[in-house]
Chains A and B, each alone.
Chain A
Amino acid sequence: DVKVTQSSRYLVKRTGEKVFLECVQDMDHENMFWYRQDPGLGLRLIYFSYDVKMKEKGDIPEGYSVSREKKERFSLILESASTNQTSMYLCASCGAGAADTQYFGPGTRLTVL
């Protein structure tokens, strides 16, 4: 079974803090993704990575950065957290094929006060 884990289920931070969200997958997947999910807005792609040290911006990259130093690990960084970044953050991974599906981690609910 594919396993995608995220470092925290719940996180509370203050405005201006630097926040690290980590994601680890154990299936040797090439692709990894960070999404945020908000009521009424669905899943929105922040960044994705198709290989180690490679990254591409998604639909809403502003205020975020990412790091992929190892194939199994993909980190999302909020350089200076703001209240509008309060959200559910979901990591996913998948293989490189066109029919490959994305497997999601359990999510991190981040609250920025």
Chain B
Amino acid sequence: QKEVEQNSGPLSVPEGAIASLNCTYSDRGSQSFFWYRQYSGKSPELIMFIYSNGDKEDGRFTAQLNKASQYVSLLIRDSQPSDSATYLCAVNEDSSASKIIFGSGTRLSIRP
């Protein structure tokens, strides 16, 4: 059974600090990796994707991928209360994008 694992949290981070969210996956052949943000009662929305080893930055967000260790992480700099949400890690297990496996999510809480 191919799996994507995340710590469910809640992860509590003070406002202005860096929030670090981690995800591990079991399928070594996975090709694309995504981070979604989901506010309570809302549907997931994409915030980052990455498919090459290393870091990818977009504003306050940085995705980090290490295929050898099979983990992907999301860093949120200068955390804001509006970043409080559940963050879902998703992994594309094949090259056709026909099936993406989601982790169960990490709940992040930014305290003022």
Contact = CB atoms under 8 A, between A and B. Distances in A.
Binding partners A and B: yes
Interface string B23-51: 00000000110100000001111100101
B64 interface: no
A64 interface: no
Contact of A106 (B42, B51, B90): B42
Nearest to B104: A42
Contacts of B88: 42-43
A103 B46 contact: yes
B102 A43 contact: yes
Interface stretch (A14-22, A65-73, A76-84, A91-99): A91-99
A58 B98 CA distance: 11
Nearest to A42: B104
A95 B45 CA distance: 16
Chain A contact patch, size range: 20 to 34
Contact of B31 (A40, A98, A107): A98
A46 to B, nearest CB: 12
B112 to A, nearest CB: 26
A103 B97 CA distance: 12
Contacts of A41: 104
A74 interface: no
Main secondary structure of the interface of B (DSSP, over half): loop
Interface string B89-112: 010101111111011110000000
Contacts of B95: 98
A44 to B, nearest CB: 8
A99 B67 CA distance: 16
B104 A98 contact: no
Contacts of B96: 50, 96, 98
Given A96-B96, A99-B32, A99-B97, A42 B43 contact: no
Given A40-B8, A99-B49, A104-B43, 18 more contacts: A43-B102, A90-B43, A94-B97, A95-B97, A96-B96, A98-B32, A98-B51, A98-B95, A98-B97, A99-B51, A99-B97, A100-B97, A101-B49, A102-B100, A103-B46, A104-B45, A106-B43, A107-B42
